[in-house]
Amino acid sequence: MNYPYLQQFRQSLVEWFHQEKRDLPWRNTKDPYKIWVSEVMLQQTRVDTVIPYYHRFIDKYPTIESLANADEEELLKMWEGLGYYSRVRNLQAGVKEVVEKYGGTVPNNRHDLQKLKGVGPYTAGAILSIAYDLPEHAVDGNVMRVLSRVLHRTEDIALPKTRKIFEEAVEQLIHPEYPGDFNQALMDLGAMICTPTSPKCLLCPVREYCLGFMEGDAEQLPVKTKKTKEKHIYYDVYIAVNDGKVVIERRPREGLLANMWQFPMIEKNKPSDNTKEAFELSYNVKIEKILKENFFEQKHVFSHLIWYLRCHLVEIEKTEKTPESVRCVTLKEMESLPVPVPMIKILNFLNQYIFYSWE
């Protein structure tokens, strides 16, 4: 690797971690199950966002068996608002596999771990090093940023093959006596000191051993190419009321926001399209009265697409024949189901709206 500060780097980094590490709820345990839960929650998600979810989740599912036996819809509700909902479905699948194949004991080797649903190279390395004290790499975007600066590497971290370069680097750098602390130290350094913009190099415990700092271009690293442009999709959303209840539907079991509940949505080919007839046909309902057209507009940004929602309040005639995925519920009942954030925002507006219309 030709990095001359290997010993000093690992030593200084771990010593700094022992002094300055963040006090996080999943750091009070060595239970591999709880470490696993925390790592899945933390995928592409900030620490501050995860903390309350982690407490609620572990409180409800304190053991691996309790999660294996959990109700799917209840589980999805526990994940509501965290995003990337396939994570929780994969987590339960992986946990079930551990209960069935390994008697409830989380595997302590990379080969078996990475075969579990939802466990990739990073999560496997995190569990192995933190819960089992094994010298395994756990390379995420955070670590790639830090090491691209420390080692002054200019490979594009957006490319899958680049991760291997940093994994091999960590295999050499990792502290053999404190592998878990070393990996977590890299993360804390990335979160507190070696931040994406404006890194606090003057406070950095390994500044003397950072090739990027020596070159004076640490802040320009890492090199990362841009992602593809997002798509724009326009929908009419129908709040269809009858006898104090509204129509909702369950999204398909796979894909975006899988299995979550929402108000009926009809895609518009042009933002100016009228979709009332399409709504009546698709959901086998008849609009009796339009109570309020376009009462709420919302733009919702996902990773790779943008929804533009125009919400309409309509009264419908009583309906009988609807598919299993469609229900009529009160707003209160809807709040007990897993609902994606854009629908929660509509729900909140409706509750406000109803409140004011009573004045």
Stretch that binds DNA, among 78-86, 97-105, 239-247, 286-294 (CB under 7 A): 78-86
Active site residue 39: yes
Report d(CA 300, CA 318) in Å as an integer.
Answer: 31
Report d(CA 61, CA 41) in Å as an integer.
Answer: 14
Question: Does 145 help bind DNA (rule: CB under 7 A)?
Answer: yes
**Phi, psi for 236 (deg, rounded to 5):** -95, 135
Q: Which of 134, 201, 233, 256 binds DNA (CB under 7 A)?
A: 256
| Terminal alpha carbon distance of the chain | 72
Nearer to DNA among residue 44 and residue 284 (C-beta): 44
Q: Dig out the tokens for 250 from the structure.
A: 């369950």
Question: Which amino acid, residue 47?
Answer: V
In the complex, the smallest distance separating the C-beta of residue 255 from DNA, rounded to whole angstroms, is: 4
Q: Which of 107, 135, 179, 190 binds DNA (CB under 7 A)?
A: 190
Contacts with DNA in 11-50 (CB under 7 A)?
22, 24, 26-27, 38-39, 42-49
Question: Does 82 help bind DNA (rule: CB under 7 A)?
Answer: yes
Size of the chain in residues: 359
Stretch that binds DNA, among 2-10, 97-105, 270-278, 334-342 (CB under 7 A): 334-342
Q: Which residues pair with 299 in a beta bridge?
A: 308
SS (H, E, C) 288-339: EEEEEEEEEEEEEECCCEEEEEEEEEEEECCCCCCCCCEEEECHHHHCCCCC
Question: Does 147 help bind DNA (rule: CB under 7 A)?
Answer: no
Residues that bind DNA (CB under 7 A): 22, 24, 26-27, 38-39, 42-49, 81-86, 90, 117-124, 126, 140-142, 145, 159-161, 184, 187-188, 190-191, 196-198, 224, 226-228, 255-258, 300-305, 340-342
Residues catalogued as catalytic: 39
